[in-house]
Structure 1
Amino acid sequence: MSTATPLLDVRNLSVAFHQGGKTSLAVDRVSFSVSAGRTLAIVGESGSGKSVTALSIVRLLGATSATFPTGEALFKGEDLLRAPEDKLRTVRGNEITMVFQEPMTSLNPLHTIERQIGEILELHGMSGGNKIRQRIVELLTEVGIPEPATRLGAYPHQLSGGQRQRVMIAMALANRPSLLIADEPTTALDVTVQAQILKLLKELQTRLGMAMLFITHDLGIVRRIADDVCVMQKGRVVEAGPVAQVFDRPQHPYTKMLLAAEPKGLPPASSSEAPVVVKGDDIKVWFPIKRGFLRKTIGHIKAVDGISLTVREGQTLGVVGESGSGKTTLGLALLRLIRSEGPIVFLGKRIDGLQSADMRPLRQQMQVVFQDPYGSLSPRMSVAEIVAEGLGIQHPNMRRAEQRTIVARALADTGLDPADMDRYPHEFSGGQRQRIAIARAMALEPQFIVLDEPTSALDMSVQAQIVDLLRDLQQRRKLAYMFISHDLKVVRALASDIIVMRYGKVVEQGPAIDVFAAPKTDYTRALFAAAFNHEADLSGSVNQ
């Protein structure tokens, strides 16, 4: 750790939560410090206490904690844990600010960007409409928003994910804080946008001389941005020190496990002679742009523009590209969940012209697993009900006992205990919830599965487990996968073939081993550089 006088000095911080008549310790005697101009990363898996630690420093846990945080959080020598509320209001948003993981939930969808940044400036003493507007434009320029004056009236949904996160950073930096707390600020972003945001944060830190507390589960990010690191497990700091020292010579078994948790291995071997499961030729999905009183079509958004592909039995086709490239739209088109043009052949039968009723018998053979296991599982249904839902639709006369037998087998196949089938999603971890989503798809014994970012919301160690599970299921059942992702490390471990998409078109396509070894286009090279932590100028490669 730095020997400079710390800006923030946390000593023996503990936080407990009360739930169901029980008290559990979420943070247990955590100590660390961070000095001006330096970055301290707090790493660990979900539930390790990272975010609780950060929120408790500025007392943002509210009434959810059973006990007032104990210990000390000395900021410029004053203990924030015992500071009066008026002092905290001065510190929050002024001297200490926060950037959160998901800007879509942090930004108000009903207010313009100008209003949301302006509120922060007004709250902390700035007045005068023109002066505030000028300051907002300066902030948006500082964080790299193109043509900022034209974006003042934009709403969050009109910006890309990277732009929304830049707006969040502009709001956090509005009052020139001494300490920025960044809680997983790049997890939901594409690799190239992630690289840009990290570079932006580092440049702003250097320019402003601020300290940064960076919370993440991605150790690759820690190597790139942090000076020091604290590794947390089950509420405790198990290892701490300079990044190079901890990463090159880890001492604790948990740190060693995290560093070794990257998805490994090679995709199952696929054969060009294997039966074709799904084939698409010149697939197009164009969304009309309508204007005027008569809603006249004046153009089209070409989400998918002339893509051809083949997925065979036992093969994984990786589809990569940045947000907005058309990856998910292509997957939904192949599943016939949205309209498209161009022939789609599934198991030898052309399906692109089929009506909904004619598609229903085929639905059992084609399934999808979504990105967010929190949002794709109903909190009001038990695991048994969730996994059996498709069985009830496809086999309405199946007895409940038979359904439960199939559910038990699907849960066991995905590494879950069938005895837990009557529990509810909130009682499981993120990795377990994703296994439940996979079990729901597997219960119908499909032949083709679209996996839409199924690992991006998971810790790295859980990612590796899900990759191993998917490979195992594919080998045992000869499944065909379309794996949609912006995480190229996971794609490399799973996909035998790859399509790189940009603006709805194929930029590069071929055997994964060839594309990874020698990418032919600048765009693909930029993606790989960002994903595998190589230094590269990505300014021209990203759709801002």
Structure 2
Amino acid sequence: MTEPLLSVRDLSVAFHQGGKTSLAVDRVSFDIAKGEVVALVGESGSGKSVSANSILKLLPYPAASHPGGEILFNGRDLLKIDDAALRDVRGNDITMIFQEPMTSLNPLHSIERQIAEILDLHQGIKPAQARPRVLELLRQVGIREPEKRLKAYPHELSGGQRQRVMIAMALANRPELLIADEPTTALDVTVQAQILALLKQLKDEHGMSMLFITHDLGIVRKIADRVCVMTKGRIVETGPTAEIFDNPQHAYTRHLLASEPRGKPPASDETKPIVIEAKDMKVWFPIKAGFLRKTVDHVKAVDGIDLTLRAGQTLGVVGESGSGKTTLGLALTRLIGSQGRISFEGQTIERYSFSQMRPLRRRMQIVFQDPFGSLSPRMAVSDIIGEGLQVHEPSLSARERDTRVAAALEEVGLDAATRWRYPHEFSGGQRQRIAIARAMVLKPQFVMLDEPTSALDMSVQAQVVDLLRDLQARHGLAYLFISHDLKVVRALANDMIVMRLGKVVEKGPAEAIFTAPRDDYTKALMAAAFDLEAVPVPAVRQ
């Protein structure tokens, strides 16, 4: 047998803080052959990214150390080479794509400058001569009309385009090994499918090896040759992808494979009262130009949408980033202005002022995508959940308010005794439960859920879906569920609307749309989400 390109042997990683040492990775071993894709899978905190970052020594030293093990790349132990030799390996022989390109790209530099910088550093190609190679790389990763994108800054590109730029930078020096750390987690299903297809194509063309880190087993099945399953800092099972999926041996692997959101929403009931309704809703943002800043056109974020949502029912809103999903939700809750009629519990509210809306706020609540960003890091959980009670029920005593907070935490499956802790002391799934408790403590009738599961592990997603379904059954809640994860939508939604460029391209009972989509764009979403390769996929925006 030929020697593997990368061989990790008995690697351990320890973190040192406040005089205490904790082991994040414990005697991990795996190999990657030339031209092979190995997936490292597991939930948040399992040690996947720590293991991958150790390969290029990207951990926060000296707060981190390696008590044992070796990382052999082409026979050299990367843990023992000096900094100069390691710099030659980084970005040249081994490159890395990170999860969030917006934080990995320099916001002050153009795309051309950032790619040219890599060519200058590793190949000595000066920026003035680098443009042909930069254009070649951008074309290679599927950026349309790259000449027009050279001077663009990261914020001027979509999420998919930014990730393609990161891939172009990673491939600039034709590396032997590419480490991809959750490169598709924040992307729409169609863009995710495009990025996976691109990585697979580039791997085949260049004979490149790949270490793919993810918690999404659906992605693993599409791209990996072999799988290593991690939990609590250890690899508990490894083997060929098909074997792991068809015949998992370890209990944790079986747990991961069974963690996809399951179950069905309650049956639709036309006799239930209408909670919120919209007719011909429009949200148009003006485009101004010229010295006098005259309006020359509009961005039609939401363009003529009708919807009806009843008590105890869920309306799923799906579509790519930029389709208008979140704008629709914000307009329904009157957090941004809109045209058209909005009715909430029988009241016509589209012209209500801020003060007129305030009494209704307790009846309509929002749960956001990122629980860490939406929870104040300076407030204890008791204060975060109780803040709404202070505003909307000021007559409650401190003891009564605390009792309500404790009850809300227990209802979402958290220990009431943890209410004195701060958000950073909880896991991602627990923080999302806190965000849900903050909404539920006011006993709302309508809840807008804006991508509430996209940042969570698969098993935590399933738990949150079960929780939302249980709360809906108990309290008759009406949900507007915004998501690009169609598997989660299928588990929750009675009805569904598919949005593209501000318009509804398809609407109706969710199961009917999943089973027999009519619009080509809907078919593209289904193909990307459920790997239905036979379904034609029309060109979609990057």
Distance 1:537 1:76, change over 3 A: farther
Supply the AA of the counterpart residue of 1:478.
Answer: G
Q: For residues 81 and 348 of structure 2, what CA distance do their matches in structure 1 show? A: 69
* Equivalent in the alignment of 1:132: 130
Q: For residues 537 and 410 of structure 1, what CA distance do their matches in structure 2 show? A: 44
Residue aligned with 2:340, SS = coil
Structure 1 position 264 matched with structure 2 position 262: yes
| C-alpha contact (below 8 Å) 2:527/2:535 kept by paired residues | no
Q: 1:73 aligns with which of 71, 88, 91?
A: 71
Q: State the number of aligned residues.
A: 542
Structure 1 position 26 matched with structure 2 position 31: no
1:469 shift after superposition: 0.1
Residue aligned with 1:255, SS = helix
Supply the AA of the counterpart residue of 2:132.
Answer: Q
* Equivalent in the alignment of 2:359: 361
Structure 1 position 225 matched with structure 2 position 223: yes
| C-alpha contact (below 8 Å) 2:37/2:210 kept by paired residues | yes
Q: For residues 445 and 451 of structure 1, what CA distance do their matches in structure 2 show? A: 15
Structure 1 position 436 matched with structure 2 position 428: no
* Equivalent in the alignment of 1:482: 480
| C-alpha contact (below 8 Å) 1:449/1:482 kept by paired residues | yes
Supply the AA of the counterpart residue of 2:115.
Answer: I
Residue aligned with 2:123, SS = coil
Task: Note the aligned Cα RMSD (angstroms).
Answer: 1.1
| C-alpha contact (below 8 Å) 1:281/1:309 kept by paired residues | yes
* Equivalent in the alignment of 2:407: 409
* Equivalent in the alignment of 1:532: 530
Q: 1:186 aligns with which of 180, 184, 187?
A: 184
Larger mean CA deviation between 525-534 and 195-204 belongs to: 525-534
Q: For residues 483 and 360 of structure 2, what CA distance do their matches in structure 1 show? A: 25
Supply the AA of the counterpart residue of 1:472.
Answer: D
Structure 1 position 42 matched with structure 2 position 47: no
Give TM-score scaled by structure 1 length: 0.98
Q: For residues 2 and 430 of structure 2, what CA distance do their matches in structure 1 show? A: 43
| C-alpha contact (below 8 Å) 2:113/2:127 kept by paired residues | no
1:130 shift after superposition: 3.9
Supply the AA of the counterpart residue of 2:225.
Answer: D
1:19 shift after superposition: 2.8
* Equivalent in the alignment of 1:290: 288
Distance 1:515 1:537, change over 3 A: closer
* Equivalent in the alignment of 1:319: 317
* Equivalent in the alignment of 2:304: 306
Q: 2:511 aligns with which of 492, 510, 513?
A: 513
Structure 1 position 399 matched with structure 2 position 394: no
Q: What are the equivalent positions in structure 2 for 1:36-435 lying under 5 Å apart? A: 36-63=34-61, 65-68=63-66, 70-435=68-433
Distance 1:239 1:65, change over 3 A: farther
Larger mean CA deviation between 193-202 and 54-63 belongs to: 54-63
1:520 shift after superposition: 0.5
Give TM-score scaled by structure 2 length: 0.98
1:129 shift after superposition: 3.5
Larger mean CA deviation between 73-82 and 384-393 belongs to: 384-393
Distance 1:72 1:336, change over 3 A: same
Q: For residues 36 and 80 of structure 1, what CA distance do their matches in structure 2 show? A: 18
Q: Percent identity between the aligned chains?
A: 69
Supply the AA of the counterpart residue of 1:457.
Answer: A
1:128 shift after superposition: 3.3
Moved over 6 A (4+): none
| C-alpha contact (below 8 Å) 2:119/2:126 kept by paired residues | no
| C-alpha contact (below 8 Å) 1:15/1:65 kept by paired residues | no
Q: For 1:421-466, what per-residue CA distance to the aligned partner results, in whole angstroms no more than 9, with x for missing partners?
A: 0001111111000000000000111000000000000000000000
Supply the AA of the counterpart residue of 2:263.
Answer: G
Unpaired runs of 5+ in structure 2?
A: none
Q: For residues 400 and 134 of structure 1, what CA distance do their matches in structure 2 show? A: 67
1:293 shift after superposition: 1.6
Q: For residues 523 and 78 of structure 1, what CA distance do their matches in structure 2 show? A: 49
Distance 1:64 1:508, change over 3 A: farther
Residue aligned with 1:343, SS = strand
1:230 shift after superposition: 0.2
1:380 shift after superposition: 1.0
Residue aligned with 2:331, SS = helix
Q: For residues 516 and 127 of structure 1, what CA distance do their matches in structure 2 show? A: 51
1:396 shift after superposition: 2.9
